[in-house]
């Protein structure tokens, strides 16, 4: 990825910008710490990078409390990373519908659910080879799993329902109480979006990641915490330096950059500042 450098630009903060085809964007501004600044300059100038992590480190045995604290930090970091990836995938595919697969019986085996979903996809792709989705699991109070998918546009619900019934052991044409499960496509009330009954993508992302947090298992590999179709291209970040000797000046400079680069205007965007005042997350849509 390219860095945009200006000789007279203060290099106290840098900005990562991701722009999506829909006009949406996300940006993260972070304080460049002295160690990071030296490594970054070396990377940009093509010089060898010497990292302190290349040197031997003496490890001490952690107490039970320290191990628990470390495990929580790792869990929270993995959850944030998975949540971030789901959000980027949904924005990249411009998801606007919630697609839900359920069982009639009480299926509590995650591996079984995954196998059923893979069989469902195999059947779906016989007629819809490019069907795209981002899927997470919901675990109900009774222990049963449901699958929630973010999808885009009109869905061939009758065909998709038949594929799901076949995937979970049915004949594909059951009705009423004889069905082995259900398939549903939901759009929220108009108040969620604009004048049409569609999900605003960012709200759909939050809905999916809510269930991810409830069923998140740190023992699983990243790709098994959520499932997504191949071919959804997440935009690569573009990085630039942000001027400012303090967080307030840096935020002003960040907003100016987003105004000129991404079309940010008005106050219609989401933002978050870290408690340490060393990073800013901002998301919006070009107007």
Q: Is the pLDDT of residue 120 over 90?
A: yes
3-state secondary structure of 20: coil
CB 253 within 8 A of CB 242: yes
Element (H, E) at 74: helix 64-93
pLDDT digits (tens, 9 = 90+) for 124-175: 999 999 999 999 998 887 888 999 999 998 899 999 999 999 999 999 999 9
Domain boundaries, given as residue ranges, for the chain: 91-228
Q: Is the pLDDT of residue 286 over 90?
A: no
pLDDT at 221: 55
pLDDT at 4: 43
The CATH number, out of the four listed (3.40.50, 3.30.1370, 3.10.100, 3.30.70), of the domain defined by the range 91-228 = 3.30.70
pLDDT digits (tens, 9 = 90+) for 50-101: 665 555 555 678 888 878 888 788 878 888 888 889 999 999 998 989 999 9
CB 135 within 8 A of CB 227: yes
pLDDT at 130: 93
pLDDT winner (highest mean) among 64-68, 151-155, 191-195, 268-272: 151-155
CB 26 within 8 A of CB 283: yes
pLDDT at 3: 42
Report the DSSP beta bridge partners of residue 160: none
Sign of CA dihedral 138, 168, 229, 186: negative
Q: Is the pLDDT of residue 224 over 80?
A: no
pLDDT at 265: 64
Share of the chain above pLDDT 90, in %: 30
Nearest to 208 by CA among 53, 78, 83, 60: 83
Give the side-chain half-sphere CA count within 13 A for 183.
Answer: 21
Q: Which residues, in sequence order, are CB contacts of 28 under 8 Å at separation 6+?
A: 15, 16, 279, 280, 281, 282
3-state secondary structure of 34: helix
Element (H, E) at 148: strand 145-151
State the Cα–Cα distance between residues 129 and 115, nearest whole angstrom: 19
Report the DSSP beta bridge partners of residue 183: 101
Tell me the whole-structure pTM to 2 decimals: 0.77
State the Cα–Cα distance between residues 106 and 146, nearest whole angstrom: 10
Band (pLDDT 50/70/90 cuts) for residue 192 is very low
């Amino acid at each position: 990825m390219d860095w945009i450098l200006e000789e007279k630009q203060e290099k106290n903060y840098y900005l990562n910008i991701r722009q999506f085809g829909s006009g949406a964007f996300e940006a993260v501004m972070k304080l460049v710490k002295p160690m990071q600044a030296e490594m970054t300059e070396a990377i940009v100038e093509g010089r060898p990078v010497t990292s302190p992590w290349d040197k031997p480190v003496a490890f001490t045995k952690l107490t039970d409390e320290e191990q628990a604290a470390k495990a929580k930090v790792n869990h929270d970091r993995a959850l944030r990373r998975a949540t971030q990836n789901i959000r980027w995938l949904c924005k990249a595919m411009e998801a606007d519908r919630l697609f839900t697969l359920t069982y009639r019986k009480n299926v509590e085996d995650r591996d079984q659910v995954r196998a059923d979903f893979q069989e469902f996809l195999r059947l779906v792709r016989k007629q819809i080879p490019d069907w795209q989705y981002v899927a997470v699991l919901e675990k109900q109070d009774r222990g049963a799993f449901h699958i929630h998918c973010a999808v885009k546009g009109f869905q061939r619900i009758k065909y998709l329902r038949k594929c799901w019934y076949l995937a979970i052991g049915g004949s594909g044409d059951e009705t009423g109480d004889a069905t082995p499960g259900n398939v549903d496509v939901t759009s929220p009330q108009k108040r969620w979006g604009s004048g049409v009954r569609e999900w605003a993508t960012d709200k759909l992302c939050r809905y999916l990641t809510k269930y991810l947090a409830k069923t998140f298992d740190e023992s699983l590999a990243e790709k098994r915490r959520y499932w997504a179709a191949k071919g959804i291209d997440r935009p690569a970040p573009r990085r630039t330096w942000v001027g400012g000797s303090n967080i307030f000046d840096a935020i002003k400079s960040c907003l100016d950059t987003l105004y000129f680069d991404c079309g940010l205007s008005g106050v219609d965007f989401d933002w978050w500042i870290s408690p340490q005042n060393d990073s800013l997350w901002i998301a919006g849509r070009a107007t």
